[in-house]
Amino acid sequence: MRELKRLLWAMVLLLLDLAVLYLTFSLALQIRMEILPRISPDIFTIRTIVFLDRYYWLIVIWPIIFLYEGLYKRPITFWYAAWSMVKANTVAMILILVFISLTQSWDISRSVVALTWGLGLVLFPASRYVFNLLVYHWPLFRSKVVLYGAGLTGKAVLEGLAKHPELGMDIIGFIDDDPERVGKVVGSFHGRDVAVIGHAPEFLAGPKAREADEIIISISHITRERLIKAMEVCNEVVDTVKFIPDIFGTAIHNASIERVDTALIMSFEQKLSRPSNRLVKRVFDLVFSSLGIVILSPLWLVVYLSIRTDSSGRVLFEQGRLAQGGGGFNLYKYRSMYSDGDRILSDLLESSPTARQEWETYKKLKNDPRVTRVGRFIRKWSIDELPQLFNVFWGEMSIVGPRPYLPREVDDMGGYKDLILKAKPGITGLWQVSGRNNLTFEDRLRLDAFYVRNWSLWGDISVLFKTIPALIRRGGAY
């Protein structure tokens, strides 16, 4: 039954991808034949384009590369699937262009191939996203999962899986080697409590264990002997056993695994330490900051007039922040507070223990009396941060990066400081899409350290996409 489910899953995804591929070809052909000749008739003449009738077999290139990327093996996270599809779509286009060049098949329209590639960059990931929303709750495509180990690692795994319903996992519960943990709630998963449902040796020997499709071993500080024994016992019950090593905080997104004889070698790379990657990130920042400054120029005037009429003082607020490498720079924002904000804050912290406690925990105040009426609006929608596009253009900041920290926060950053300051601070980042000001200062530090260790260009792109719904939800913005 499990093998049949996997085969059915692969076949459904294959049919979906073929349908999307046909759609992209059709749209590309229509654009080439109907739109481009009207835009530039000298370059794009209306002629008969041969493609699907004589070269239909080229379509199989896409599914083959998708299969190689592991897109049909099992449910995977959306952003991992999207990145794999971008790579596969690009490789497919390159192979077709190479085929055209080698075989002199000039009757194949290169513009149709290029348009198919461009449309595929959007339509393939979008189709998977919609597909996941529609079918992830269907029992046929869900896997019953037992987590082995109810410690900190197990709890972290549960929290991570809860963020990715597209994986189609249904967590039955935890099992643990400690019988005293049975019955205790470890965390929540999609609105329901997940508890320890059994003592591991007894549970694995009983009939309920065989209801699971897979077991994930998530035991903190497990020894080699204990791991081998646990995997042997679990493999007698289920076909798939996964192991989560307790290496949280390392560069797991940039990790690679290779086998040398009987040894398993894990390599960890900090990509931001490479000059080539820093150059790529700088080009990315220049392109986006330039586009943002030009496209949003009408908004600058509206915000300028709103701030000037709402309260007295300068429109732009200038504040010193920690720069990459530990130096300093002036960060620009639209002024969202009254000019005597420091005095207002000082008076409030002296008179209100509750406000003082909130400030010490979050370095923010939810009901900050310093914020003006217009300031509350532009803060809620992060409009106050738009002038930072100039900081990015000048090379002081990045579009995506760690939070820009204040000089007075250096001591509070503790052991995270040196790592975080290896990167330029960003307008948005993991802290922005993970709860914003609802996070504690310690949580923000951990997220920023994770970002620096695990940087990738695709990671920056995914954060940008996640920033838009985060702003719409306005979660934690004040």
Q: What is the mean pLDDT of residues 56-68?
A: 81
Q: Euclidean distance between the first and final Cα of the chain, in Å? A: 51
Over the range 9-25, which residues count as b (16 or more CB within 10 Å of their CB) and which as e? beeebeeebeebbeebb
Per-residue confidence (pLDDT) for residue 389, from 0 to 100? 94
299, with CB counted inside 10 A (0-12, 13-18, 19+), is exposed
Residue type, 377: F
Domain ranges of the chain: 2-135, 142-246, 275-336+371-473
DSSP tally for the chain: helices H, then strands E: 19, 12
Dist. CA 196–CA 150, nearest whole Å: 7
**pLDDT tens-digit profile of 176-209?**
988 888 889 888 888 888 998 989 888 888 888 8
pLDDT, tens digit (0-9, with 9 covering 90-100), for 33-60: 777 777 766 555 555 454 555 556 667 8
Instruction: Please report the pLDDT score of residue 476 as a whole number.
Output: 47
Q: What is the mean pLDDT of residues 141-167?
A: 85
Neighbouring residues of 60: CB distance < 8 A, sequence distance ≥ 6: none
CB neighbourhood size of 357 (10 A): 11
Average pLDDT, the chain: 83
Q: Regarding the domain with residue range 142-246, which homologous superfamily does it belong to in the CATH classification?
A: NAD(P)-binding Rossmann-like Domain (3.40.50.720)
63: left (phi over 0), alpha (psi -120 to 50) or beta: alpha
CB 23 within 8 A of CB 123: yes
**pLDDT at residue 367 in the model:** 73
Q: What is the pLDDT of residue 453?
A: 87
